[in-house]
Structure 1
Amino acid sequence: MDLRGKQKRYLRARANHFRPVFSIGKNGLSPIWLEEVGGAIEYRELMKVNVLQNADVTVDDVKNYIENNSDISVVQTIGSVLLLFKPAEKENNQKISKDVFKL
């Protein structure tokens, strides 16, 4: 999903006070980890992921892995933190995505 600049700015502003929900450590990336992230983002729509210092992967590796193996968008990377967005499929969970698509 391609987001326009205005949409990305809105999402970054909404996530400014968020803390990372998931971390990537020495176990690295796996399909199971991506499933867990996909399940959590279905309810949240917007969340942060932290890449720990002891991780064998870089932030760019994580970004490419997420974007190539799922329909989750990486909105921003700051240092070792990635901001992820995916519109929820259930209408009850679509709190942020409704506002994003209006922009």
Structure 2
Amino acid sequence: MLTGKQKRFLRAKAHHLTPIFQVGKGGVNENMTKQIQEALEVRELIKVSILQNCEEDKKEVAEALAKGARAELVQLIGLTVVLYKESKENKEIVLP
């Protein structure tokens, strides 16, 4: 579980990132969460955008992504989700 200070730090780091995944009409599926897990292992911090045609609630999508990828939900702002997971091999981000 991340503290408020750690979440602030990660939000600042994620500000300049562009979303690398999109959740569309199909919603969250197993293949997507697997790819997100792999991306998190390499990058540690990613953004995912939720498209307008996504039928599920954005909060449910954010929670499903975090749970499926076994990651921490840092932020849900608008239709953008920020996820963090500490990398086992490529650790770059040092939390305060």
Question: Is the 8 Å Cα contact of residues 47 and 82 (structure 2) preserved in structure 1?
Answer: yes
Paired residues in the alignment total 96
- TM-score w.r.t. the length of structure 2 is 0.93
- TM-score w.r.t. the length of structure 1 is 0.87
Structure 1 residue 80 displacement after superposition: 0.3
In 2, Cα distance between equivalents of 1:51 and 1:63:
9
Question: Is the 8 Å Cα contact of residues 76 and 84 (structure 1) preserved in structure 2?
Answer: yes
Partner residue in 2 for 1:49: 48
- Deviation per residue, 1:23-73 (Å, 9 max, x gap): 001121111110011111110000100000011122111122123334211
Alignment of 1:52-67 (within 5 A): 52-67=51-66
Partner residue in 1 for 2:31: 32
Aligned amino acid, residue 40 of structure 1: A
The correspondence for 1:94, drawn from 85, 91, 94, is: 91
Question: Is the 8 Å Cα contact of residues 12 and 76 (structure 1) preserved in structure 2?
Answer: yes
Aligned-residue identity in percent: 36
Kindly name which structure, 1 or 2, has the bigger radius of gyration based on alpha carbons.
1
Aligned amino acid, residue 91 of structure 2: Q
Runs of 4+ off more than 4 Å: none
Aligned amino acid, residue 24 of structure 1: V
Please tell me the root mean square deviation across aligned C-alpha atoms, in Å.
1.1
Gaps of 5+ in 2: none
